């Protein structure tokens, strides 16, 4: 598998102490984790980014448990899945998470992502600046609410309201098929 061999190679370099390879590995994993958690928790769930960070930290802390003779993707997915199940248990939501999504988790295509980010850009450009900025900072770039509020110079409450309204409006825009008409 293409992704497996590439990521495993990065992991082997990382275990040898190569910081550049490690950074590349974590960046790629963070993209996949973000997509995975958003899909499972719903795009509006603000905890997805926390889970991404928690999982990256778990991967970092437990990297010695990766056996160099085995596959990398099942190892990483097991930690990702554990963090999701743990989160769902903490938040007392009963959902079953399949053990078989490992394929899907690593099958995500880069071009798909590029197309998705174009779509997001064009949708965001239709919102008032305060809303699009708040959404971009928190949901796309991964800042916390407080962090985003500080950057935009607004209160955390106002930022939350902007995100909420913006997302509602985006949902309406999406439903109206604005994108299709434009492209």
Partner 1 sequence: MQTTDLIDRLAVELRPTAQRAAWKSLIVALSVGLVVALGAAWVSFGWRKDFVSILLTSSLWMKWAYALGVSAAAFSLCARLARPEGAPGALPFLLGVPFLVLGAIALIEVAGVPVDEQRALWLGRTALTCPSIIGALAIPIFVAALWALRTLAPTRQRLAGFSAGCLAGAAAAGLYAIHCDETAAAFVVSWYTAGILLPGLVGVLIGPRVLHL
Residues 17 and 12: their CA atoms lie apart, in Å, by 9
User: Which residues fall within 8 angstroms of residue 120, CB to CB, at 6 or more apart?
Assistant: 140
Only one of the segments 53-61, 112-120, 121-129, 159-167 lies at the binding site for partner 1 (rule: CB under 8 A); that segment is 53-61
Any contact of residue 36 with partner 1 (CB under 8 A)? Answer: no
Which residue in 40, 127, 143, 149 binds partner 1 (CB under 8 A)?
143
User: What is the 3-state composition of the chain as percent helix, strand, coil, each rounded to the nearest 5?
Assistant: 80, 0, 20
Size of the site for partner 1 (CB under 8 A): 42
Residues 80 and 115: their CA atoms lie apart, in Å, by 25
From 34, 40, 35, 8, select the one nearest 21 (Cα to Cα).
8
Any contact of residue 62 with partner 1 (CB under 8 A)? Answer: yes
Any contact of residue 141 with partner 1 (CB under 8 A)? Answer: yes
Any contact of residue 45 with partner 1 (CB under 8 A)? Answer: no
Nearer to partner 1, 86 or 104 (CB): 86
User: Which chain residues interact with partner 1 by CB under 8 A?
Assistant: 14-20, 22-23, 26-27, 30, 34, 49, 52-53, 56-58, 60, 62-68, 70, 74-75, 77-79, 81-83, 86, 141-144, 147
């Amino acid at each position: 598998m293409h992704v497996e061999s590439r990521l495993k190679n990065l992991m082997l370099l990382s275990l040898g102490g190569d910081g550049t390879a490690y950074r590349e590995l974590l960046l790629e994993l963070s993209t996949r984790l973000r997509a995975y958690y958003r899909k499972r928790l719903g795009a509006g769930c603000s905890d997805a980014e926390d889970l991404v960070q928690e999982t990256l930290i778990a991967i970092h802390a437990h990297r010695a448990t990766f056996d160099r003779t085995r596959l990398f993707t099942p190892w990483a997915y097991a930690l990702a899945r554990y963090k999701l199940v743990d989160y769902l248990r903490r938040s007392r939501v009963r959902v079953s998470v399949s053990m078989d999504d490992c394929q899907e988790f690593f099958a995500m295509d880069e071009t798909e992502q590029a197309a998705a980010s174009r779509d997001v850009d064009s949708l965001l450009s239709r919102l008032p600046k305060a809303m699009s900025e708040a959404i971009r900072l928190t949901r796309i770039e991964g800042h916390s609410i407080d962090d985003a509020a500080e950057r935009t110079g607004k209160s955390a409450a106002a930022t939350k309201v902007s995100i909420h309204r913006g997302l509602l409006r985006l949902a309406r825009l999406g439903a109206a098929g604005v994108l299709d008409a434009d492209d």
